[in-house]
Chains A and B, each alone.
Chain A
């Protein structure tokens, strides 16, 4: 399964868009990009996933580059409740979690 590279930490002002990047240069053509987040002491929460096209749901948007080697998760209006560790996962047959990005939303 392809591995990912994410910045260890990021800050974002409350109400602003949070843009979380992820590099996955070894992704294969049939592997999906998934994003999960984990708030302290809870299980990972599914956010969004995609294969090639950009995706949007009620929580976030996922932008995947044309060569599929990187992606960005966008939280359009960050709130304090969005403070969490965000994991970008490239899946083949298993979910491989890296160490993720710790996002802190600042009041």
Chain B
């Protein structure tokens, strides 16, 4: 039973570029959430996708956007990259949108994004 998988594992970009990160949820899960984790900090919630729609959003600018596909996989897009966007980007999946109730999220190992 495959867990949450993310690609790529590492990525280097320069300021102003655009990036797309990908996530495949755990088998049986239909909800995907994205987090940003800066060095030495806890993960910060970006947004959540369920039924191909953004359901909740954290305090991130609209340079951060996403998409969910019919097979429940998801992409995170970041435009006009800034140095401060350097971080570990984590994807988590769960069953149903009411994450945080009696429903654990399962995390992938993330994509390490470095901005030069």
Contacts and interface: CB of A to CB of B under 8 A. Distances in A.
| A and B found bound together | yes
Interface of A: 1, 30-32, 34, 36, 41-46, 49, 51, 87, 91-100
Contacts of B33: 95
Contact of A95 (B41, B100, B102): B100
Interface stretch (B12-20, B67-75, B76-84, B104-112): B104-112
A31 B92 CA distance: 19
Q: Is the interface of A mostly helix, strand, loop or mixed?
A: loop
A98 to B, nearest CB: 6
Contacts of B101: 30, 32, 91
Interface of B: 4, 33, 35, 41-45, 48, 56, 58, 90, 92, 98-102, 104-110
Contacts of A45: 107
8 tightest A-B contacts by CB? Answer: A91-B100, A97-B42, A43-B107, A43-B109, A46-B104, A44-B107, A97-B43, A94-B45
Contacts of B42: 87, 97-100
Given A43-B109, A44-B90, A93 B56 contact: yes
